[in-house]
Structures are given as C-alpha cells and as structure tokens.
C-alpha cells in the first residue's frame, strides 16, 4: 500500500470514526428529544383531560384516537379513578337528596306527575305556605361516571320571576315548559287564587291555547300584542293597590301577611321574539319586576332580552331541546318534561273555570270569613281580616301603622252593626286575646255590643273585649272616659317604647317580647253623639280624639268610628288633623261623605248588604266592593263567641260592662267592697262616676273644715240614693257602735228611703236614731252645743264619729229661724255644725231641694262649709256659687248628678246614683 493510499485510508477511517461518533451523538439527542416530547405530550394530554373533563375527552374524536395508542393509558386511568372518587359522594347520595328536596318544597301538583292531579281543582289557599319550587324536568350531570336522573324544579310565585330563552327550533319546547308550569301553579291553588295574563308580541291568539277555557272565568286574560303598556299599567296599579291595602306596614309581601292568601297571584307571561322591548316598556317592566313579587305578581318572560333588578330564574332551552337553568348551573343538563297531554289540558282548565264560577256565585256566609284554625295570627305589624267577598274572593280590612283608623258610614238600617259584627268576628277568630284587645262603645239605644259582655241569658263573653259600653246615649262622658283611657295607654306605650329606644309598637314587641302589648281596636258606634252639643264634653272629645288619632297609630291603638251620617259632624270634619288619619273608609249603601265625594259616589249605587271598603282615604281607585255576609243571624257571631269563650285563657278577666240603662249596685262595686273599718279618714261613696274602671265618686271625711256633703235637687229618689250610698259606705268603715248615725227625715216623700236606710244600718249593727221635723231643732242645738263644748275643752273625751243624714234640710228652715232664750237660732246651730262639725268628726250629709235653699242654710256669701256636693235637676248657672265655671255647661238629665269636691277636683264629674239594695 503506498503511503498515499495509507494516508487516504486513515483519513477515511477517521471520517468514519467521526461519522459514527456524530451518529451516536445525534442518535442520543434524538432519543432524548423523543422522550422529552412524549413526556410533554402526556402533560398536555393530562391538562386537556382534566380541563375538559374525562367524559368530554372520551367523546372528543381527536383525543380518543390519541388514547388508543396506549401512550396515555396511565393518565386516563388516573383521571378515571379521580373522577370516581370525586363523584362518589354525589353518585351515592346526590340524585336521591335532590329528589327528596324537590319532594319537600314542591309538594303536590308542584312536582307530581300530572296523572295525580291534573283535572282536579286545587285546594291550597296559601295559608300553609307556597311551594318554593316547581318541576320542569329531569336533570343529569353528564360528567358523572354513571349519570342518574333527578327532578329539576325552579322557583316561582313569591320567590322569583322566570326568564326563558329558546331558539327557533326549541321555542315550542319552551312554550310547553311554560304551559306545564302554569298548569302546576293553577292546579295547586284553589281556583281563583291564580290569574294568568298572556301577551305575545307576534300573535293575538296562539300562545298557550290549552289554557283558553280559563278565560270565561276571568282567570286568563289574553292581551293585544299592540297594547303591552295596558297590561303593564294594570300590573302597576295592582301593585300600588296591594301596597296601600293589604300590606300593612311591616308586612313585606302579601305572602308574609300570613293566613289564607289575601290577594290572588297574577302571573304575566310575555312572549317575545328575541328583540328588546321599546325603552319605555322595558323600564315599566323593570319596575313591575322590582315591586311585583311582594304584591303577588310573577313575570314569565319568554325570549325577551331583560335585565331586572330582582330575583329571576333563567331557563335556556337549546336546539337539541335540552335545557339549562340558573338553579342547577351549567353542569346539569335538563330534559324538559313533555307537555301534558293535549286532550287533558283544556279539560282540566275547564274544570278549574267551573269551580271558580261556582265559588264566585255562591253566597258567602259568616263562616267563610273565619280561618280554618283560630288565633294563629300575629298582630305585631297590624291586623288584617276579611269582612266580605267580591266574586267569591275575600275583601279585607287592614288596620296598622299605615292605615291606622277606620270611618264607617251608612244610614240607619244599611247594615253598619252587621258590618261591625262581621269585622269583629273575623278579627277575633284570627288574633288571640293577647294579640288584640277590643273596646266597644255603642251610643245607640239598643244592645248591639251587649252580647260581647256576659249577660243573664248568655254568660259567655268575647275574650278580646276589655270594655263594653252599651246604651251610652246621653252619657257622652263615657266616650270621653274611653278616649282618656286610650290616651293614657298611648302614653304608657310611648314611655315604654322610649325606654327601649324604639318608636313603634312592632319594635317594642321585639325589644320586650315578654311584655303585654296587644293591638287595641276601639269601636265607637254612632260616635256623632260625642259631638252632639257645643259643650265641654265635645271640646274634650275633640281634643282627645285628635291626640289618639294622630299618635295612636304607632302605639298600636286603632279607632273605628261609625255613624249614620258623618256629614254633619262639625267637630270631626272641622278638624282636618283628625279625619286625615282615618285612611280606611267603609261606606254602606247610600252613605254620605265617607268616601271622597263628589268624585267617588260608589256608595250611591251600592246594592243591599254591600260595602265599599277603601284604604286610600276614600279616593275612587281605592274602592273595593264587598258583599258582607249576615253576621247578625243566630248561629253566626254568637256561635263564634261561645267557641272563643271556651278557649279563653283561664286567668282572663271579664270585660268591664258599662250599661247606661242600668243602675250600678253599691254592694257589687269594687270600691265599696274594698272599704274596711279602722281608717282615720273614712271614704264616702256618692255614686258611680262615668269612667272606664266603673269607679265610685269618693269624698274623704278628714277632720278638716268643709267635709260635709250636700245633695241639691228636688227629687227624693235620686237624693236618697246618694245619701244611702254615702251612709252605707261610712257604716262599712266603722265597727258597730263606733259611730252614730242620725237620720232626720223632714219630708214625707223621703220617708220610705230614710226608713229603709235606717233598717240597713241597724242590720249592720249600727246605732241609728231616726227623727222628723219635731226633733230637728233639738238635734242641731244639741249637736252644736256638743261641738262647742268640745272645742272650748268643756267636754272630756273627744267626740265619737257622728253622721247627720238629713233629708230636705230646707224644709226646717222656717222652724230653725226661731231664736231661743239665748237668742241663738236653729239656723245658727246648723251653721255651727256645718262649720265646726267636721273637725270634731261630725259630718252632715244633707239634702237641700234647691241651690238657693242650700245657700240659706249657710252663712251669707260663705259657702265653703259644703266642700262636696252632688246636684241633680238644677241648672248649671245656679251651681256657680259652689263650683268652678265648668258647672255652667251642666244640663240636668234623668238619673244623673253632677258631683264636685272642692278639695279634690278642678272640674265636676257626672255620677250615677247607686242602687243600694233592699234592707238587710
């Protein structure tokens, strides 16, 4: 081999070596690269797998092919394991839990298959709550390892509006779903509680044809495509009316008002074409959406782009007819229930319509006003109760912070009393006595409220009644007494509220849950009597009424005033501050001025036994016409009272009864029973004052000047009743023989009264001396002598209490004028007794038959030895010498006296003399 060849071979070898070395290096790099690429691919694959979810990845053809070559087996296996683990909890319990949940909150037609209910009218009235969800189909979670179906239901009615979005292809399915939902709602509730409105931008008829039979019962209204604004206006009006009427303050929604649904739901279904509404409609729709749910208005908006500021559930129906909804989120696919069978739907709607018609035309009775279960309502925010029916639907009266007081008007015989019975019965059945108290006053002659107090024939009484005043007639002071009581209670409540740093009754009840803070409803029938005269009583009544009307609202004190003719009540209308507070107006047929005339003359045309109920101060849009059931007939309110009486808490006291036609019995009076011996200054009871507690007119016989009592007037019966009441009450405070009673009867017509009193006193064991005209001079001289002796210290022991009861003192005047040997007249002696007796425990209880005659017995111009008096048939001006200016307005009336005690009173009081009973 030549050297050249040798060199060449070495070069070749070297190159070969080099090539091999390069090849080896390259091969290594390629392998490394391949391995890195594979690793990278697995990473990416896993990211895709986890990102998309294994279920989708498995369905993805590209990824499926990649998986086939085994490169990613490990990742697939791990993802599968992870998925099983992640879904284990859900797979084991999820679908069952969801099914149970839907079953619990969507009972009955809200979720059951149609076979179970479609074609049977609903029975729910809302009092047991409202289903929270309504079924639309079956959901699955496709990403679950073994997808299992579960019911999918959406919120409706009070909870959320519904927005449905569909495509051209899926619109029919969406309509089917809406129809199913409406049928579920209609089928759940009593016919009449759900009204459906349909508006379709594209067509006058067509949408929801299966529901058309509802139209004839007024339960379905199909609106003109060109008149969306009318529908929206109607809904807005309705919201406003509900807010002023049914929703008393504090109730956030008709639903929260409790009990049977007071207002039907209105479901408005709007079908669009995926184009936005006109701006003005859009805004109006938003307003309805915002305020509608609380007023029972539900929007179902199909294929209209909306943005609303209120709870709304969205269901999107895709081209493949599957749906997704807000409730379940993106991961749940809903297979919508098929539409209910075409043949059954119209029939079911016809049945609902017939049932509704039957309810509407049925004459509602008093029993229909009553709830299924008594005493379940809470009065914190107000009281609401149906008083009648409009086309089978109840019409309510609400008293609360926003509608504090009611004014009822209707001529005689128009049914006011009946209306009051219906209202009181309806309220009393709903609210327990610790939620609602009633103060009932009837100025009319007759007995309209008497039945609520225990009576001789019927011992039951209405447990809510705390005070019943009947036959009040001319005792207008009793009306004032009630208003004074309410004003005091109002202040007591305001003070308690202040202490708890709140302003309203509702808040006070929250802060002081153990306190007794019922709402008070005070009813005054024929209240115009309160303002019957231009006098002190009217002035006081006006001022008190204004106070209670203005400030009672926040303290839960509500007035219900009724009258035959409110138009003539000057004191009422003259004071706008009063009647403005009476926002609830109830007009019976032909009532004048109760509603805001002349624009609201609804009462003129009102048929018999109907009433206009208006919560908007009587303006026309607030009118609701109701037929009022007969609540006066036997077996109505009386039967309810028996039942309520049976349920009353055992500790509840009977109502106080004030019966203007009755004479109060001394012996049964609490103030009389409370008297007992041993008190230093005994109390004299002169009669019953006209107040809420039924208390006695009292004078205390302290040992101070002026503590004598005069009765002024010509009638022996009235005067004797006062003297007897006084003497018997004194007798009760002395042990036998501790006090002396001298009865001097100076006129024959008082004799039987005096004799009877003497017997009664003796029956109690007292020392009684009786005398007539023949003994009077000696009596006054002796008593005066004894008093003088005691005062000058001539007599030893202090004098024993001595009561001189003198009938017709003035009859002895001529006789007493004669002077004796010491040139002292009997009149002088009498004056000594009157002047100095009381300090020495000698008190005169005398009857004078006229004011001037009384003056004759006293020192001229000095009348204060008579510190207390009761006057009967004496004009006010004659009494001016003995009392304040207010006596001027006194006009005498039968069996009523005017009482004044200059020690105790700034103004006189009216008293009713006692029935002091038979002799013992």
Could you tell me which stretch among 260-268, 316-324, 405-413, 858-866 binds ligand ATP (CB under 6 A)?
405-413
Residue that has been written with the tokens 């009173």 in this structure:
905
Nearer to ligand ATP, 415 or 913 (CB): 415
3-state secondary structure (DSSP) of residue 686: strand
> Looking at the DSSP assignment, which residues form a beta bridge with residue 197?
221, 268
Q: Answer yes or no: is 417 a known binding residue.
A: yes
> What residues does 152 pair with on adjacent strands?
137
Residue 324, strand partner residues: 316
Return the number of the residue (416 or 777) whose C-beta is nearest ligand ATP.
416
Of 20, 273, 283, 412, the one binding ligand ATP by CB under 6 A: 412
Return the SS3 of 385: strand
Q: How far is the CB of 441 from ligand ATP (least distance, A)?
A: 14
The residue among 10 and 608 lying less far from ligand ATP, judged by its C-beta, is 608
- The first and second tokens of residue 298, run together, are 């539900």
Phi and psi angles of residue 119, each rounded to the nearest 5 degrees, phi first: 105, -10
- Rank residues 235 and 387 by Cβ distance to ligand ATP and give the closer one: 387
We find the least distance from the C-beta atom of residue 422 to ligand ATP, in angstroms, to be: 7
Coil, strand, or helix at residue 622? helix
Closer to ligand ATP by Cβ: residue 106 or 369: 369
Query: Cis link prior to 598 (omega < 30° from 0)?
Result: yes
- Are 492 and 464 within 8 A, CB to CB? no
Q: Pattern of binders to ligand ATP over 357-396, x per CB under 6 A?
A: ----------------------------------------
Dig out the tokens for 860 from the structure.
């001229």
Q: Is 111 annotated as a binding residue?
A: no
Residue 402 vs 451, nearer CB to ligand ATP: 451
Taking CB under 6 A as the binding criterion, the range among 206-214, 416-424, 515-523, 637-645 that sits at the site for ligand ATP is 416-424
Residue number with CB closer to ligand ATP (556 or 629): 629
410 near ligand ATP (CB under 6 A): yes
Among 109, 139, 192, 415, which residue interacts with ligand ATP (rule: CB under 6 A)?
415
Task: Report whether 567 belongs to an annotated binding site.
Answer: no
User: What is the smallest separation between the CB atom of 363 and ligand ATP, expressed in angstroms?
Assistant: 9
CA distances from 914 to 231, 666, 719 (A): 68, 6, 10
d(CA 262, CA 382) in angstroms, rounded, equals 15
The interface region with ligand ATP, picked from 95-103, 399-407, 411-419, 649-657 by CB under 6 A, is: 411-419
**How wide is the angle at C-alpha 770 spanned by C-alphas 764 and 776, nearest 5°?**
145
Which region, judged by CB under 6 A, interacts with ligand ATP, from 414-422, 597-605, 790-798, 815-823? 414-422
Tell me if 414 is assigned to a ligand binding site.
yes
103 marked as part of a ligand binding site: no
75 binds ligand ATP (CB under 6 A): no
Among 418, 614, 683, 832, interactor with ligand ATP by CB under 6 A: 418
Instruction: Read off the DSSP letter of residue 665.
Output: B
Residue 473 within binding range of ligand ATP, rule CB under 6 A:
no
Please, which residues have CB within 8 angstroms of residue 42's CB and are 6 or more apart in sequence? 71, 72, 74, 75
Closer of 31 and 608 to ligand ATP (Cβ) = 608
Q: Encoding tokens for residue 214?
A: 């509802």
Pairing of strands 842-848, 696-700: unpaired
Name which of 100, 111, 159 is nearest 134 in CA terms: 111
Supply the minimum distance, in Å, between the C-beta of residue 418 and ligand ATP: 3
CB of 603 to ligand ATP, least distance (A): 13
Among 83, 238, 324, 416, binds ligand ATP (CB under 6 A): 416
Minimum CB separation of residue 430 from ligand ATP in Å reads: 20
Q: Which is nearer to ligand ATP, 562 or 742 (CB)?
A: 562
Q: Does 592 bind ligand ATP (CB under 6 A)?
A: no
Q: Binding string, 513-552, against ligand ATP, x = CB under 6 A?
A: ----------------------------------------
DSSP of 843-886: EEEEEESSHHHHHHHS-TT--TT--EEEESS--GGGGTTTS-GG
Q: Where are the beta strands (DSSP E) in 570-708?
A: 584-587, 610-614, 623-627, 656-659, 683-689, 696-700
Q: Which CB sits closer to ligand ATP, 626 or 744?
A: 626
Taking CB under 6 A as the criterion, which residues in 676-715 touch ligand ATP? none
Closest CA to 617 of 593, 641, 647: 593
| Spatial contact of 518 and 556, defined as CB atoms under 8 Å apart | yes
Q: Which of residues 19-48 bind ligand ATP (CB under 6 A)?
A: none
Q: How far is CA 286 from the centre of its chain?
A: 32
Segment near ligand ATP (CB under 6 A); pick from 530-538, 622-630, 773-781, 786-794: 622-630
| Distances from the Cα of 746 to the Cα of 259, 398, 753, 847, angstroms | 70, 62, 12, 10
Q: Which is nearer to ligand ATP, 195 or 416 (CB)?
A: 416
Cα radius of gyration rounded to whole Å, the chain: 45
How far is residue 141's CA from residue 853's CA, in Å, rounded to a whole number? 106
Residue 842 contacts ligand ATP per CB under 6 A: no
Classify each residue of 389-415 as buried b or exposed e, where b means 16 or more C-beta atoms within 10 Å of its C-beta.
bebbbbbbbbbbbbbbbbbbbbeeebb
Q: Please, what is the minimum distance in Å from the beta carbon of residue 561 to ligand ATP? A: 14
Is 412 labelled a binding residue? yes
Does 609 bind ligand ATP (CB under 6 A)? Our answer is yes
Q: Which stretch binds ligand ATP (CB under 6 A): 194-202, 280-288, 409-417, 859-867?
A: 409-417
Q: Which stretch binds ligand ATP (CB under 6 A): 371-379, 627-635, 692-700, 712-720?
A: 627-635
Q: Which is nearer to ligand ATP, 413 or 717 (CB)?
A: 413
- For residue 795, the Cα-to-chain-centroid distance in whole angstroms is 69
Interface with ligand ATP, residue 471, by CB under 6 A: no
Contacting residue, 322, 564, 747, 832, with ligand ATP by CB under 6 A? 564
- 151 or 410: whose CB is closer to ligand ATP? 410
Q: Does 426 bind ligand ATP (CB under 6 A)?
A: no
Q: Of these, 417, 554, 720, 729, which contacts ligand ATP (CB under 6 A)? A: 417
Instruction: Tell the smallest beta-carbon distance from residue 389 to ligand ATP (Å).
Output: 11
Rounded Cα distance between 854 and 846, Å, is: 9
Residue 394 CB, shortest distance to ligand ATP, in Å, is: 15
Distance in angstroms (rounded) separating the CA atoms of residues 114 and 131: 16
Please report the DSSP string for 521-537 in residue order: EEEEETGGGGGSSSSHH
Overall size of the chain counted in residues: 920
Q: In what order do the strands lie in the sheet with 406-409?
A: 393-400, 382-390, 623-627, 610-614, 584-587, 406-409, 557-563, 519-525, 436-442, 465-470, 656-659
Vertex 561: Cα angle to 556 and 564 (nearest 5) = 170
**Cα pseudo-dihedral 775, 780, 781, 787, rounded to 10:** 140
DSSP state of 628: P
Nearer to ligand ATP, 419 or 701 (CB): 419
Kindly state the number of chain residues that form the binding site for ligand ATP, as judged by CB under 6 A: 14
Among 129, 202, 311, 413, binds ligand ATP (CB under 6 A): 413
414, 426, 708, 832: residue in contact with ligand ATP (rule CB under 6 A):
414
**Three-state DSSP class for 189?**
strand
Tell me if 451 contacts ligand ATP by CB under 6 A. Answer: no
Asked if 628 interacts with ligand ATP (CB under 6 A), we say yes
Tokens 């009561």 identify what position?
803
- Look up residue 189 and give its two tokens: 């509730």
* Binding site as annotated, residues: 410-417
* Binding site as annotated, residues for ATP: 410-417
Contacting positions for ligand ATP (CB under 6 A): 410, 412-418, 564, 609, 628-630, 632
């Amino acid at each position: 081999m030549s050297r050249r060849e040798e060199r060449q071979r070495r070069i070749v070898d070297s190159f070969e070596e080099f090539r091999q070395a390069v090849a080896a290096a390259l091969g290594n790099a390629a392998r490394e690269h391949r391995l890195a690429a594979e690793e990278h691919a697995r990473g990416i694959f896993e990211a895709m797998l986890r990102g998309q979810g294994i279920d989708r990845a498995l369905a993805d053809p590209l990824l499926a092919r990649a998986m086939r070559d085994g490169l990613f087996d490990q990742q697939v296996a791990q993802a599968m394991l992870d998925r099983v683990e992640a879904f284990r909890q859900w797979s084991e319990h999820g679908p069952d839990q969801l099914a149970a949940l839907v079953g619990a909150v969507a009972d009955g037609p809200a979720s059951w298959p149609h076979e179970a209910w479609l074609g049977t009218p609903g029975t729910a009235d809302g009092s047991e709550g409202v289903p929270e969800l309504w079924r639309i189909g079956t959901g699955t979670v496709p990403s679950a390892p073994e997808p299992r179906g579960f019911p999918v239901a959406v919120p409706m009615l009070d909870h959320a509006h519904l927005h449905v979005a569909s495509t051209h292809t899926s619109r029919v399915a969406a309509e089917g779903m809406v129809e199913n939902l409406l049928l579920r709602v209609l089928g759940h509730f009593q016919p009449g509680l759900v009204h459906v409105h349909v508006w379709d931008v594209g067509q006058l008829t067509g949408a929801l044809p299966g529901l058309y039979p509802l139209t004839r019962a007024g339960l379905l209204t199909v609106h003109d495509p060109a008149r969306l604004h009318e529908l929206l206006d109607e809904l807005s009006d309705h919201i406003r009316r509900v807010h002023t009427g049914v929703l008393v303050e504090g109730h956030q929604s008709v639903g929260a008002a409790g009990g049977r649904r007071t207002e039907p739901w209105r479901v408005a279904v709007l079908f669009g074409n995926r184009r936005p509404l006109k701006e003005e409609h859009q805004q109006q729709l938003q307003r309805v959406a915002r305020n509608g749910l609380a007023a029972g208005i539900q929007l179902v908006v199909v294929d209209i782009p909306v943005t609303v500021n209120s709870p709304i559930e969205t269901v999107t129906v895709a081209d493949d007819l599957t749906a997704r909804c807000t409730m379940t989120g993106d991961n749940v696919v809903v297979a919508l229930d098929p539409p209910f069978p075409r043949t059954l739907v119209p029939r079911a709607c016809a049945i609902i319509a017939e049932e509704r018609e039957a309810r509407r035309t049925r004459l509602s009775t008093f029993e229909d006003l009553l709830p299924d279960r008594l005493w379940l309502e809470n009065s914190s925010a107000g009281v609401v109760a149906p008083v009648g029916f409009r086309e089978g639907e109840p019409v309510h009266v609400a008293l609360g912070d926003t509608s504090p007081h009611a004014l009822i008007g209707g001529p005689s015989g128009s049914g006011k009393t009946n209306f009051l019975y219906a209202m009181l019965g309806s309220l009393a059945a709903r609210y327990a006595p610790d939620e609602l108290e009633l103060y009932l006053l009837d100025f009319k002659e007759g007995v309209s409220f008497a039945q609520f107090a225990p009576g001789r024939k019927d011992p039951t009484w209405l447990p809510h009644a705390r005070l019943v005043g009947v036959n009040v007639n001319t005792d207008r002071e009793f009306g004032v007494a009630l208003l004074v009581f309410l004003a005091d209670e109002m202040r007591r409540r305001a003070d308690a509220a202040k202490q708890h740093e709140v302003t309203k009754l509702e808040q006070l009840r929250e802060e002081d849950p153990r306190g007794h803070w019922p709402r008070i409803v005070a009813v005054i029938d024929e209240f115009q009597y309160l303002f019957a005269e231009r006098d002190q009583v009217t002035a006081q009544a006006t001022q008190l009424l204004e106070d209670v009307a203005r400030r009672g609202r926040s303290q839960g004190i509500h007035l219900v005033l009724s009258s035959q003719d409110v138009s003539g009540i000057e004191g009422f209308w003259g004071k706008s501050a009063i009647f403005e507070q009476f926002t609830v107006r109830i007009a019976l047929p032909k009532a004048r001025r109760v509603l805001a005339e002349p624009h609201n003359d609804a009462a003129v045309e009102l048929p018999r036994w109907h009433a206009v109920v208006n919560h908007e101060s009587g303006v026309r849009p607030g009118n609701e016409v109701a037929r009022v059931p007969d609540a006066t007939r036997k077996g109505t309110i009386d039967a309810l009272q028996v039942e309520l009486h049976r349920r009353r808490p055992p500790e509840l006291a009977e109502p106080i009864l004030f019966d203007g036609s009755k004479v109060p019995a001394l012996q049964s009076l609490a103030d009389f029973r409370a008297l007992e011996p041993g008190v230093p200054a005994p109390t004299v009871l002169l009669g019953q004052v006209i107040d809420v507690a039924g208390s006695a007119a009292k004078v205390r016989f302290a040992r101070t000047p002026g503590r004598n009592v005069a009765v002024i007037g010509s009638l022996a019966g009235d005067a004797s009743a006062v003297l007897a009441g006084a003497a018997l009450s004194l007798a009760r405070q002395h042990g036998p023989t501790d006090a002396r009673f001298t009865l001097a009867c100076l006129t024959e017509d008082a004799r039987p009264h005096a004799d009877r009193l003497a017997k009664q006193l003796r029956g109690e064991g007292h020392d009684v001396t009786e005398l007539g005209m023949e003994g009077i001079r000696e009596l006054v001289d002796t008593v005066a002598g004894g008093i003088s002796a005691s005062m000058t210290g001539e007599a030893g022991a202090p004098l024993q209490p001595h009561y001189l009861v003198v009938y017709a003192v003035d009859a002895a005047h001529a006789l007493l004028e004669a002077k004796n040997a010491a040139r002292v007249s009997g009149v002088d002696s009498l004056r000594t007794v009157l002047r100095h007796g009381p300090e020495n425990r000698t008190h005169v209880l005398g009857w004078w038959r006229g004011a001037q005659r009384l003056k004759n017995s006293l020192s001229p111009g000095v009348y204060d030895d008579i510190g207390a008096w009761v006057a009967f048939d004496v004009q006010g001006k004659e009494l001016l010498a003995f009392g304040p200016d207010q006596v001027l307005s006194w006009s005498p009336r039968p069996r009523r006296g005017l009482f004044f005690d200059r020690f105790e009173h700034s103004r006189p009081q009216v008293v009713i003399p006692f029935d002091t009973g038979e002799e013992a």
